[in-house]
Amino acid sequence: MIIVLRPDATQKQIDHITEKVKKLGLKPWVSKGVERTIIGVIGEEDVLRIQPLEVFAGVEKVMPILTPYKLVSRDFKKDDTKINIGSGVKVGGKKIVVMAGPCSVEDEKLLITIAKKVKAAGATVLRGGAFKPRTSPYSFQGLGEKGLKYLARAKKETGLLIVTELMDTRDIKLVEKYADIIQVGARNMQNFNLLKTVGKSKKPVLLKRGMSSTVRELLMSAEYILSEGNFNVMLCERGIRTFEDYTRFTLDINAVPSIKSLSHLPVIVDPSHATGRWGLVGPASKAAVAAGCDGLLIEVHSSPEDAFSDGSQSLIPENFSALMRELRKIALAVDRKI
C-alpha cells in the first residue's frame, strides 16, 4: 500500500511513520516527488487493519496498490525515475542514452578502437561481454576478468562508462569493481538469487526481458531488485520468441509505451538481439526512439565477419555513425535528443 503524506508533512513525522511501519514487520520505502512525498509499504499488510495509519500526523490518505509489483509501479512513483550513471550521464531524462560496442570482449586493442569510434559517433556507454551465456557449451564463453580489465582500459582511454553482464552471484564483487552498469541477461531474468544479489548492490542494473517472458513477469523480476533496496533499475526490451523465424526474435515495440505506462523505470531497447540482422538494426532503433525509449543498446564491431559472437547483427562503425545522425532527427521530432 501507499501512504500519501500531506504537503506540509515534516521530516520528524515521516521518520515516526517509517519507524512504526518497521515495528509492524513491514518494509517502508520513502519516495519524494515534485509535489508529494509518499511511503510505500511492502509485506503482509493485514497487520495494518489493527493499526490504521490514517490517524498519524502528516498522513493525508492510505491507498492500496492493486498490482503485484509494488515499488516498480506508477502507483508508487508517478514521476519518471532518472538514474545517474556517472560522468554526467543520466538515463530516464530527455536525452536518449546510447550504449554501443561489441557483443563479446575479444581483444584489448580491438575493443579500444571500437570504443573510440562509438564515442566519436555519440555513444556515452561502452557495452561488451566478459562473461557470455551461450546456447552451445562449445561456443566462446568470454574472457572473464581479463575481459573486464580490457573494458577498464577502454574506459580510461575514452571516458566511456561500462555496461557488462553478471551471470553468477559469486562474481558480483568482481563485476562491481569494473562496471558502471550491471546487466542481467534475458536468460537470467528469473534467476531470483541473482536478482536479490544485484538488489543489494549500489550499481545501476540493466534488466533484460526474458525471450519468452511477459511484461508483467519483467516487472515482477524488477520488483525483486527494488525490494532489496536498489532502485536504479533500467528495463530492457530485447525481443521475444514468436513463430516468426526470419528475425532472431520479434521486437515487441508495444512493450516500450506499455512498460512506461505501468512503471516509472527507464526503458532501454536492444535492436541488435531483437532482429539478429544488422540491416534491420537501424529501422528497429528508429522505431524504438519514436516509441519513447530512454536508451538503445547496439552492437558494433570493426570486423563482424571475424567476431567471436553475434557478428551478423553487429554494425560496422561507419554504419553506426550514419545511424546516429539519423536517430538525432527522429529524437528531435519527439522532443528528445541524442
pLDDT digits (tens, 9 = 90+) for 155-174: 999 999 999 999 999 999 99
Single out the residue of 263, 238, 233, 236 nearest to residue 250, CA to CA.
Answer: 238
Residue given cell 521518520 in the structure block? 15
Q: Which three cell numbers stand for residue 290?
A: 519514436
Give the burial class of 94: count Cβ atoms within 10 A of its Cβ; 0-12 exposed, 13-18 middle, 19 or more buried: exposed
Residue given cell 541488435 in the structure block? 272
- The mean pLDDT value for 2-6 works out to 90
Amino acid at 331: A
The reported pLDDT for the residue numbered 51 is 73
Q: Which CATH class is domain 2-63?
A: alpha beta
- Is residue 149 very low, low, confident or very high in pLDDT (cuts 50, 70, 90)? very high
Amino acid at 116: K
SS (H, E, C) 245-272: CCCCCECCCCHHHHHHHHECCCEEECHH
Amino acid at 316: I
Angle between helices 145-158 and 108-121 (to 10 degrees): 40
User: Is residue 190 within 8 Å of 221, Cβ to Cβ?
Assistant: yes
Q: What is the tens place of the pLDDT at every residue in 297-309?
A: 999 999 999 888 8
User: Is residue 229 within 8 Å of 211, Cβ to Cβ?
Assistant: no
The reported pLDDT for the residue numbered 38 is 87
What separation in angstroms does the CA of 19 have from each of 30, 48, 117, 222, 300? 12, 14, 52, 26, 50
Percent of the chain with pLDDT over 90: 76
Whole-angstrom Cα distance, residue 116 to residue 129? Answer: 17
- 314 secondary structure, DSSP code: P
The reported pLDDT for the residue numbered 26 is 86
Q: Is the pLDDT of residue 99 over 90?
A: yes
6: part of which helix (H) or strand (E)?
none
Single out the residue of 294, 281, 193 nearest to residue 239, CA to CA.
Answer: 281
Give span(s): CATH 3.30.70.1140, the chain.
2-63
Amino acid at 283: P
Whole-angstrom Cα distance, residue 14 to residue 17? Answer: 5
Q: Which three cell numbers stand for residue 201?
A: 548492490
CA atoms within 13 A on the CB side of 71: 23
- Is residue 138 very low, low, confident or very high in pLDDT (cuts 50, 70, 90)? low
Query: How many residues comprise the chain?
Result: 338
- The mean pLDDT value for 142-163 works out to 94
Give span(s): CATH 3.20.20.70, the chain.
83-333
Q: Distance of alpha carbon 38 from its chain centroid, rounded?
A: 24
User: Is residue 4 within 8 Å of 62, Cβ to Cβ?
Assistant: yes
The reported pLDDT for the residue numbered 140 is 63
CATH architecture of 83-333: Alpha-Beta Barrel (3.20)
- Is residue 318 very low, low, confident or very high in pLDDT (cuts 50, 70, 90)? very high
What pTM did the predictor assign? 0.90
Q: Is the pLDDT of residue 253 over 90?
A: yes
